[in-house]
Structures are given as structure tokens and as C-alpha cells.
Amino acid sequence: MKKILMLLAMAGMSVWAYAADETEAAEAPQPAPQPQSTVVQNNWRSDNLLHRADDTYYYNGRTMTRDEMAGFLQQNCPEAYHRYKVSSRLRKGGVISLSVGAPLMVAGLITMGVGAYQYAYQANTEYNYNMMCIGAGVAVVGSLGVEAGIPLLIVGTVRRNNAYEIYNEQCIRQAGPTFSIQANGNGLGLAMTF
């Protein structure tokens, strides 16, 4: 039992250390350089668009890390930066939930197995039966942590990595008004966007 408590304490300390590292990295984003010129193509300022390939972001022909992109979004697009921060919290919650849930599940299964073995083969006592039941409860709680952590981690990672799309869609102004013909159930219409 002491070994299980020791494992849980070590898992909690590793989660705490990981969360502290993530918080420090998220709080100190590096600002990205501002563009020097604007080239207008197809009514969009093409050099102001952010692009992503793997974990590298591209802006105006320069490469940026994720932290530099976060700083850039913080300075230039509050909506996108808000999405980035919320997504980072989701991801961090998923990592913490997995980091706590997985060891709990393993510890619960081990405790349940030891209790069941002792109850069945060594001493048919209430202590061994209770140990088996407590192990099953801890395993269930751990599996719930794992089940909650996996979607949080996936959704948070995808949204954080795609926060730049909000910048491209909402924070870049068009160079001038554009006209488009739109069809709906009532007929055709002319729409002017500026």
C-alpha cells in the first residue's frame, strides 16, 4: 500500500512540474516581426496570412515557432489569441487528466488483483475483500480520468494548432470592397463586402 501511495505522489509531482513548465511557456510568448510591406492579390493582403506546416508557422516568408505565433496573435488578433489560450488550457487539462487517471487505473487494477488473489487463495477475510473493492473503485476513477483526458487532449491540440485560421479569416482586413453574386431561395442578389 505504501508503494502505491508513493507512486501516486510521484505522479502528482510530475503533473505539477509539467503544468508549471506549460504555464511559463504560455505566459511568455515571443512577439513576431511586423510586416514591412503589403502586396495586394485577389483583394487580400497575401503577406499577412499565416500558414502552417507540421509545427512550423510561416508569416511573410519567415518561420515562427508556436510560441512566436502565440505572441503574434496576442498582438494582432485578440480573437485568435483567445482561442489559442482556451485550447491550450483544454490540452493541459487533458494531459493532467491522463497523467492522473492512468496511474490511478493501474494502481487500482494492481490493488484489486492483489486483494482478489489474497481473498481467493490465502485468507478469506473482510480486509482482502475490501482491498479488492477499493482497488476496483480506484481503477474506475482512473479509467474515467483517462476517458476524459483523451478527448480533451485531442480537441485542445487541434484547436490550438489551428488558431491561426481565425487570424486569417477574421483579423485580416480586405484591401477594398468586393462584389459577389449570391443565390438564395428568393432569387439572386448582389452583395458588397468591405
pLDDT digits (tens, 9 = 90+) for 115-168: 888 888 887 788 888 888 899 999 999 999 999 999 999 999 999 888 888 888
Q: Which residue range is the domain that position 83 belongs to?
A: 2-173
Question: What value, to the nearest 5°, has the Cα angle with vertex 114 and ends 110 and 120?
Answer: 145
Q: How many CA atoms lie within 13 A of 141 on its CB side?
A: 11
**Does some domain include residue 23?**
yes
Let me know if residue 192 belongs to a domain. Answer: no
> Domain for residue 178, yes or no?
no
Domain count across the chain: 1
Residue 37: per-residue pLDDT = 38
Of residues 56 and 48, more confidence is placed in 56
Answer yes or no: is 179 within a domain.
no
Q: How far is CA 153 from CA 24, 46, 78, 97, in A?
A: 19, 32, 23, 9
